Chain A
């Protein structure tokens, strides 16, 4: 066991973890931030995407210990004062989710896509960059629309 400390959604947190504890386990079990989901065990589905020091990371593929001292943002850290983040709002407005299980990872990946490709990111780029996030419900059509709409709104 060891103690890890990090800044999660703007708050300093620390906890006791085993060496093998994954970041997603620390977030979900220790911090009860259950918005970050686990949909597979091979780093493929992307339901667990969070941001670590501003970069999107599959939190099932990182040990909690590796995030020691980092700034972590999860889906719970996006809304402020009860207002959804523009990307969350775009998913809502465009029916970009059905069961909602993949959504936290989709939104966190979408923000990273906007960070790297700007507010006018095109459909082909969004589709290519979302390749690491699997959705079984939506057929991606409305997710792609939502990401593009959210990207625009973030620049407005």
Chain B
């Protein structure tokens, strides 16, 4: 039995948890970064902050012992409300963050935008809240540390989306162990959605304590711990305004946002409400001027970081709600006002006023297809029929562009990221002709084992059953950046394809020698190297065997058939789509039923449509959860009052229908495979589609998320 505290951690020179992205505040200073010790020293800042670790022979013994740890708490006033966290007179959470401000980050030409607003034909405006979510992958986080005193190596099994990033951060910033003495393993993880990107206190403490007690140490989070201490998502309060001309054209947009970052900065917290949010505010529209100001604040709540979509759902919800308000104010159909403002198909590459340069898109095509899929024209008849039953039907449209496939290293470096965001691959033939594909990305439900094997089959002509995809262990794979931001295929897949190209180039030399032909005459297709215009051919498996048994082999060529490649993308990937949600509201009970949900997305080329469709389904329900059900609540004393599935409503099978999914692809010129990311799209597109449908059904301007039966009932009562 051992009880260890922050003093023990500090005595061993273990560094605090860090945030890896700099955002420069409007005073020219870097964002305020409070020290975040993995085990608190003297002060805890949120319910869920880590105080001490008890290590025992069994879980029940450890839990019993933890009950006996006495902590003498003196209660300080707490700050939990996003909107008022930076107000005068609030309790100051960190000495180095006056007014609880992490940063105030303005972007755009304020004077120019203000001038347009002053002379605009119409100004539409909206106040909205983007509700705090708890990410909730179904497998809670876990860590198991095992120290080998002979080799002085720590093996840390951990629920991670990015094993090498974990190893790098734990080594370079937390001084847990040198990189070559730390192995991070996490090949089979039960969902992530962002929550398992970050380096958490428990993981550092488990890695450190296994060496300290020289025994394997295991921690498995329970669901309550996940609610209390996983990084949460979203939590914005915003005011948005659009200036329009008399034809409903958008002239300028102005957005003021307060984003809650929680008590400390999680690993990538600062970039979510800044670069991943404000740079997406153009959406699908050619709005020429945008000004955004983001105040990021500290509160006595769990740290907030990326959650499926990360910043992009917040931007899309704000924009698509605001555009619906514009349509109402201008007396235009919601589809029509979008058509008038779409970035034209011939305008790509299109430089938005908020940094991003979209490489491809055809927004009218997706809209047309989605309206047909949703039978938009038949809506009014269905609404009439519902009315005869005392129900109110509504239809909501949502249009999104997201920037994913993150990211060009130089671009994110300029913005303040501490890492490069390329991806790596190694494609290794074994002498008997089967293939092992090592990827630096990570699969925690995305099915990379299938998609990447398909990709290699397509490239090399090797039967899919002879291909194994390996990831999730720093001792097996080369350094890689992991999986988040819908990057695995768009970045990691390209690295695999590039390694395959190198194999084909080398294979041509080997085949030319064996077939007694000139290298320039060798063609490769369907797994065979052929001498052009002849029937002389050699299968790639034979070439691999020759490379490992190089008895008769090109002079000077290295043996072996094993290539690696790194790919640094030239631009982000810009998936886009139109989502249409039709709801029926019971005004007597406030219950919202989703009758039909249609999604038409542009993900470029699909490699495995079944997997892509599954990602869309899951994303939509994540977004429906945010729109209708999920709302993380702290009370004013800092207690998390939604810390279990009894209090926090997850979407369940009977909350949603089956979905109609289709595609309107365009070809992204920056991506060698022609692919775009698909993992976050649904969670980005769904919340505004659902809320726009509810406001349409009730004839109201706005309703905040989650639109629970109580909230909807109240809105229905005040509207009628």
Contact = CB atoms under 8 A, between A and B. Distances in A.
B618 A139 contact: yes
B622 interface: yes
Interface string B227-241: 000000000000000
B138 A135 contact: yes
B138 A142 contact: no
Contacts of B614: 95, 98, 137-139, 141-142
A136 B137 contact: yes
Nearest to A39: B138
Q: Chain A interface mostly helix, strand, loop or mixed?
A: loop
B11 interface: no
B446 A101 contact: no
B187 interface: no
Contact of A101 (B191, B222, B223, B224): B191
Contacts of A37: 138-139, 190
Contacts of B70: none
B208 interface: no
A74 interface: no
A112 to B, nearest CB: 14
A127 B621 CA distance: 14
Contacts of B654: 127-128, 130-131
For B137, B616, B619, B645, the residue with the greatest tally of chain A CB atoms inside 10 Å of its CB is B645
A21 B190 CA distance: 25
B653 A136 contact: no
Contacts, number: 121
A95 to B, nearest CB: 5
B658 A99 contact: no
A44 interface: yes
A133 interface: yes
Contacts of A38: 140, 222
B685 to A, nearest CB: 13
Interface in B644-670: 644-646, 650, 652-654, 656, 658-659
Given A138-B614, A138-B617, A139-B659, A45 B223 contact: yes
A62 interface: no
Contact of B60 (A18, A127, A142): A18
Interface string B153-191: 000000000000000000000000000000000000111
Interface residues of A, number: 36
B584 to A, nearest CB: 15
B366 to A, nearest CB: 20
Contacts of A99: 137-139, 189-191, 444-445
A47 interface: yes
Nearest to A40: B223
B644 A44 contact: yes
Interface residues of B, number: 39
B104 interface: no
Contacts of A98: 191, 445-447, 614, 618
B136 interface: yes
Contacts of A134: 138, 645, 650, 652
A53 interface: no
Contacts of B138: 37, 39, 45, 47, 99, 101-102, 134-137
B271 interface: no
A45 B653 contact: no
A127 B652 CA distance: 8
B160 to A, nearest CB: 13
B60 A20 contact: yes
A136 B193 contact: yes
A126 interface: yes
Interface in B432-488: 444-447
A41 to B, nearest CB: 5
A50 interface: no
A123 interface: yes
A66 B137 CA distance: 30
A130 to B, nearest CB: 4
A143 interface: yes
Contact of A39 (B223, B610, B621): B223
A100 interface: yes
B682 interface: yes
Contacts of B140: 38-39
Interface string A73-113: 00000000000000000000001001111100000000000
Contacts of B444: 99
A39 B139 contact: yes
B611 interface: yes
B652 A130 contact: yes
Interface in B322-372: none
Contact of B682 (A45, A131, A139, A142): A139
B653 A143 contact: yes
B191 A127 contact: no
Contacts of B404: none
B195 to A, nearest CB: 10
B325 to A, nearest CB: 29
Smallest CB-CB A-B distances: 3 pairs:
A99-B445, A101-B190, A139-B617
8 contacts: A39-B223, A41-B224, A44-B646, A45-B645, A98-B614, A137-B614, A140-B652, A144-B658
Given A98-B191, A141-B658, 14 more contacts: A38-B222, A39-B140, A44-B644, A44-B650, A95-B611, A101-B190, A128-B653, A134-B138, A134-B650, A136-B138, A136-B191, A137-B138, A140-B652, A144-B658
